[in-house]
Structure formats: structure tokens, C-alpha cells
Amino acid sequence: MDFSDYEKLLDRAYAQLPEKTKTQARFEMPQVDVLMEGNKTILKNFAQVAKAFNREEAQLQKFLTKELGSYSTVSGERLIFNKKLFGKKIGDVVKRYAADYVLCPQCKKPDTHFASMEGVKILKCEACGGWKPIKPV
């Protein structure tokens, strides 16, 4: 096999890759916007965070409620916790959610979705085809 054959094979392989893998756009972790009012903590940009992750608000709310140990309600685009919580703590939990349920473990891109493989829930990447088993939220 000479070098030109190798180059042709690389070109053919590159042409078959999904478009999402070819882009170099970087995923930016959304910053949480937190406000405390009395005994309540409000995540003001909850809807934008869920949208940035391309996840359902109910699933993200369930994860945050469980991890932060506080009852919460959605009010418009905000998530209201019935407990005083610091913004850094909420931000850390949101980052952990992204690492566990959004970002691909192989290519680190956010182009993932939930799927099932032989009865096990997995996080499947549309960009590289990678996957990992996940714990149900």
C-alpha cells in the first residue's frame, strides 16, 4: 500500500463521519444564576441550563432535587428550592450532571442521548458512537 492509497482511505473515512464530529465548536458549561430569598433558593436560569444540555427539565429537576436534598418546584423558567443553598454547590451539582448524563466519555462532546441496550440504560454519543451505562435518575 502506498501513501496515496492511504490518503484516499482517510478521505473516504472522513467523508463518512457524522457532521457533528467534524465541527470544532466547543461546548460551554452554562453558568448557574442563583438567588436566595428567605429560606428559598432560586435557580433563575433553570430552563436555559436544561436547554443547553438538551435534556428534559423534569429529569434535570429530579437529579438536582435528589443530589441537593431539597424539595423543588418549577415556576416558569426558574427552579425554586425550599432550602438555602449556595450557588457554588448548585453549580457543582450541575457540572456533575453534565459529566454523568450529558458529555460523551470518549470525545467529551454534548451530542448524546439516552438509549437502552439489552435492558440497560446507556448514554449514546451521536458524534463518535461511544456509549456508557448510566444509573437511572
Domain that holds residue 76: 28-102
CATH code for the domain of 85 = 3.30.30.170
* pLDDT tops 80 at residue 24: no
In a domain, 75, yes or no: yes
* pLDDT tops 90 at residue 2: no
* Per-residue confidence (pLDDT) for residue 6, from 0 to 100: 83
Cell of 63: 437529579
What residue has cell string 473515512? 13
Q: Is 60 left (phi over 0), alpha (psi -120 to 50) or beta?
A: alpha
Q: pLDDT digits over 42-86, tens only?
A: 999 999 999 999 999 999 999 999 999 999 999 999 999 999 999
Q: Against a cut of 0.85, is the pTM above it?
A: no
Side-chain-facing half-sphere of 40: CA atoms under 13 Å: 14
In a domain, 77, yes or no: yes
* Per-residue confidence (pLDDT) for residue 107, from 0 to 100: 87
In a domain, 19, yes or no: no
Q: Is 79 left (phi over 0), alpha (psi -120 to 50) or beta?
A: beta
Name 114's bridge partners: 123
